[in-house]
Amino acid sequence: MAQSDRAERLTAVVRGRVQGVGFRWFVVRSAEVLGLTGWVRNLEDRSVEVVAEGPSATLDQLTLALSEGPPGARVESIDQRRDPATGSFERFRVRSGSHAGD
């Protein structure tokens, strides 16, 4: 399997003006178009956390979309890491900010 085809998990925290601008729904639509699974949620510090699984190259495309965001958003930074995929998600969805993760 090529490096770009290997399934990975992206965990990203997006900071800037990313709450109140439709950012979570933008992430859901982007992930669905790309065929990724996972979730997105607002954090108390006004950032947005994204956990997505899929091929490495496809996660790169999602990361690019995250850096741009929807109209009205202003992305200042993205802290991210990659880990092996767990395969624990069936689709991509919005989670409550109070959800404790996986």
The catalytic residues are 24, 42
Q: Phi/psi of residue 101, each to 5°?
A: 110, -150
Cβ-count burial of 80 within 10 angstroms (0-12 exposed, 13-18 middle, 19+ buried)? middle
